[in-house]
């Protein structure tokens, strides 16, 4: 169990930092340009050397056992004042204690860090800091001067101090200096004053920290903030060693783990970096950050971080999705991860949790997800319209509380901050709805819709269409939603099953014989049932009373519905249940029938596009024999089929699927190169290759003059 630690510098007791970062991870157009530059600059002699093009994440949300908080600093539409206030309420009720303020919409946080806040801006910050204090949340103001600061210029340092003094006057007592995602080359003046970039950063950080009176919470984000950026590695990094040896002991260091977005964070890796930094780090966790890809959002549980980490850390901050409402699961499960290690153990998983057997004994991601979704369902079912929130907190909750008791069991005496809790309920206090008066200004601008109250209710006749009735959203729907939008390195179980089934149905579409055909149709039916479940979930979400949550999710659920619709139509076509779909087969599809946009086309042109898909074909060994074109291969080629393809399968190859994919790519390339059609020549007795080309579905037998009697030609138009 983590205990409050004493600062070596002041002797004061320091609590574990845990909460949310409102910041971000900028993986947008800049990164795509960098990818293109890397491909162009490192493509020499036909040998492609792809370097890692991804820059550091611009922000994150870290949650820790000592410093448990939320970080705000992503790129995108900023959270509103009402949302941030609601977040503080949730943090308090879920046992989190910190909020790191670094939103990219505040241009005076980074680009114009020297400028003081205007009276209007100051008023908003004061209100935000006051709301955080009211809920017992430590508001950390972060500033990023690293883009253009001259570290050796006393006027620059004085300007930085003046800016933080202004924020201190707003009532803020916790601060953070961020030097992430900046150029590491020092200007000439700094090169004369400092022996290294790390020395320059540390010198300014120590001076500012001392100027502010050595606050209890002061965070430093290094330029090398993950193991992937350390040269040559963590233990031998001159940069990190300089930071560890020279940074004042009262300053905490932010760390994202092995990578910017880390799949796993192990105890061993934290022990290693702690020994170099000479202090336990605060984890800035980007596992739920999504601003690097507008097509992805993550609603899976906090996982792959063992609770054994907590005693080794100074804190954990989570940097969640850009959209506010979908972060309910990310923050809720993080709070569960932390609180269960302190006070409770999730009841042993049954057979439905076999995939977690042997993992963390204190925390089950699957159970934590169920707890979060159960609470989130109540939010979905509560209207967010003016006047519609009365009684939300007065709804009977006995059944909900009883279900939670099935998940939790006491593990010992509660932490000193929770001693008044007799019956643990991780979600016992749900954030109150916003005051309807907050919306009066907006709603007063429009006239209310006029209705004829006295008109009788329409009742359809026996031959009329029945009235549409919206089905209520269920916990199963939210479970499916989470599994479709799970985590960066992992799909949920339903998503994995759908991909596996679709891949199998494609690979076995030529099934012959009664037994094989029956199995194919059975699995196709199961796939169809899963598709229908997605459509049902979409319809129920679309009719949920809380429209604010829906608006944050709508683009994502529309996108997945479109993809599933196309996949379902394709499977029905393969099974002969429908005619070939115009969406799938036409060379002039509707815009909504394919992935478009300039960014998508750039990516499809790159040689490594798709090699990071979470669903991959099983590895296999293939042997290919390629020889030059010989004079004896030359013939009079038919006008409609100007390209000759020669291919042979090795007799030991049992699965022709890789060969089909390869020739499909080859034909696409030849079409791009201007070829109108291709043909191949086969021996009449080579039934193996004749069968191979026939099952491709596009090759047909050709009549060509001049061929030997034992040679057959097959071709296809491109």
Catalytic residue numbers, as ranges: 181
User: 3-class DSSP state for residue 185?
Assistant: coil
Question: What are the two backbone dihedrals, phi and then psi, of residue 635, each rounded to the nearest 5 degrees?
Answer: -140, 175
What Rg do the C-alpha atoms of the chain give, in angstroms?
A: 30
Find, among 255, 268, 355, the residue nearest to 303 by Cα. 355
Cβ–Cβ under 8 Å, residues 491 and 309: no
The Cα–Cα gap between 1 and 4 comes to: 10
Question: Could you report how far apart the first and last alpha carbons of the chain are, in Å?
Answer: 66
Distance of alpha carbon 71 from the chain centroid: 16
Q: Count the helix, strand and coil residues of the chain and give each as a percent rounded to the nearest 5.
A: 40, 10, 45
Question: What are the two backbone dihedrals, phi and then psi, of residue 143, each rounded to the nearest 5 degrees?
Answer: -135, 145
Measured from the Cβ of residue 659, the count of other Cβ atoms closer than 10 Å reads 18
Measured from the Cβ of residue 709, the count of other Cβ atoms closer than 10 Å reads 6
DSSP state of 613: -
Q: How far is CA 152 from CA 110, 245, 625, in A?
A: 19, 20, 63
Find, among 106, 132, 23, 144, the residue nearest to 72 by Cα. 23
Q: List Cβ neighbours of 12 (8 Å cut-off, separation of 6 or more).
A: 6, 216
DSSP state of 42: T
DSSP state of 612: T
Beta-bridged to residue 644, according to DSSP, are 679
Cβ–Cβ under 8 Å, residues 310 and 270: no
Distance of alpha carbon 326 from the chain centroid: 11
The Cα–Cα gap between 619 and 294 comes to: 30
Beta-bridged to residue 253, according to DSSP, are 220
């Amino acid at each position: 169990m983590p205990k409050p630690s004493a600062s070596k510098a002041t002797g004061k007791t320091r609590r574990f930092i845990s909460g949310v970062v409102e910041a971000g991870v900028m993986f947008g157009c800049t990164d795509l340009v960098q990818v293109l530059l890397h491909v162009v600059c490192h493509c020499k002699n036909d040998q492609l050397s792809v370097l890692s093009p991804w820059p550091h994440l611009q922000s994150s949300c870290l949650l820790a056992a000592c410093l448990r908080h939320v970080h705000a600093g992503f790129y995108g539409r900023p959270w509103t004042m009402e949302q941030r206030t609601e977040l503080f309420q949730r943090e308090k009720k879920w046992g989190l204690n910190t909020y790191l303020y670094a939103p990219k919409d505040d241009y005076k946080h980074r680009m114009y860090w020297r400028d003081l806040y205007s009276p209007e801006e100051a008023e908003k910050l004061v209100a935000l800091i006051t709301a955080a204090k009211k809920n017992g949340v430590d508001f950390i103001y972060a500033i990023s001067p690293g883009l253009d600061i001259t570290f050796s210029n006393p006027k620059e340092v004085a300007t930085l101090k003046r800016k933080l003094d202004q924020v201190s006057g707003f009532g803020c007592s916790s601060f953070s200096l961020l030097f992430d995602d900046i150029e590491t080359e020092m200007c000439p003046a700094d090169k004369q004053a400092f022996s290294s970039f790390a020395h320059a950063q540390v010198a300014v950080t120590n001076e500012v920290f001392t100027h502010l009176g050595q606050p209890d919470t002061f965070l430093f984000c290094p330029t090398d903030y993950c193991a992937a950026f350390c040269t040559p590695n963590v233990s031998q990094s001159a940069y990190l060693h300089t930071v560890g040896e020279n940074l004042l002991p009262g300053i905490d260091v932010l760390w994202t783990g092995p990578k910017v977005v880390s799949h796993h964070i192990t105890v061993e890796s934290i022990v290693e970096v702690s020994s170099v930094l000479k202090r336990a780090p605060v984890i800035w966790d980007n596992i739920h950050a999504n601003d690097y890809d507008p097509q992805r959002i993550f609603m899976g549980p906090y996982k792959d971080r063992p609770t054994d980490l907590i005693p080794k850390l100074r804190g954990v901050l989570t940097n969640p999705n850009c959209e506010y409402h979908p972060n309910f699961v990310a923050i809720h499960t993080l709070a569960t991860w932390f609180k269960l290690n302190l006070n409770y153990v999730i009841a042993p998983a049954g057979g439905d949790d076999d995939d977690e057997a042997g993992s963390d004994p204190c925390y089950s991601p699957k159970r934590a997800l169920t707890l979060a979704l159960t609470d989130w369902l109540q939010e979905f079912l509560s209207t967010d319209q003016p006047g519609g929130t009365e009684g939300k907190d007065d709804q009977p909750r006995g059944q909900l509380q009883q279900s939670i008791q099935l998940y939790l069991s006491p593990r010992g005496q509660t932490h000193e901050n929770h001693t008044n809790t007799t019956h643990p309920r991780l979600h016992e206090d749900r954030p109150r709805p916003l005051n309807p008066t907050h919306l009066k200004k907006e709603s007063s601008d429009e006239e209310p819709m006029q209705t004829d109250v006295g008109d009788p209710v329409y009742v359809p006749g026996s031959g009329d269409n029945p009235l549409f009735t919206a089905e209520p959203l269920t916990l199963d729907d939210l479970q499916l939603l989470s599994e479709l939008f799970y985590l960066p390195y992992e799909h949920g179980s339903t998503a994995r099953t759908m991909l596996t089934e679709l891949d199998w149905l494609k690979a076995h579409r030529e099934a012959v014989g009664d037994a094989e055909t029956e199995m194919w149709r059975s699995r196709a039916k199961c796939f169809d049932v899963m598709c229908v479940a997605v459509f049902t979930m979409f319809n129920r979400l679309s009719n949920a009373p809380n429209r604010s949550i829906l608006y944050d999710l709508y683009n994502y659920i529309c996108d997945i519905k479109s993809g599933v619709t196309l996949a379902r139509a394709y499977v029905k076509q393969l099974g002969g249940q429908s005619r070939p779909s115009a969406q799938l087969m036409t060379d002039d599809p509707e815009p909504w029938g394919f992935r478009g946009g300039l960014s998508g086309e750039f990516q499809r042109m790159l040689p490594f596009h798709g090699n990071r898909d979470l669903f991959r074909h099983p590895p296999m060994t293939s042997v290919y024999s390629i020889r030059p074109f010989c004079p004896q291969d030359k013939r009079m080629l038919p006008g409609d089929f100007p390209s000759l393809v020669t291919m042979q399968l090795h007799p030991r190859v049992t699965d022709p699927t890789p060969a089909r994919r390869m020739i499909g790519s080859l034909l696409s390339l030849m079409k791009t190169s201007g070829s109108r059609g291709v043909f191949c020549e086969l021996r009449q007795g080579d039934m193996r290759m004749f069968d191979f080309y026939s099952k491709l579905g596009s090759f047909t037998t050709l009549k060509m003059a001049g061929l030997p009697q034992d040679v057959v030609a097959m071709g296809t138009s491109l």
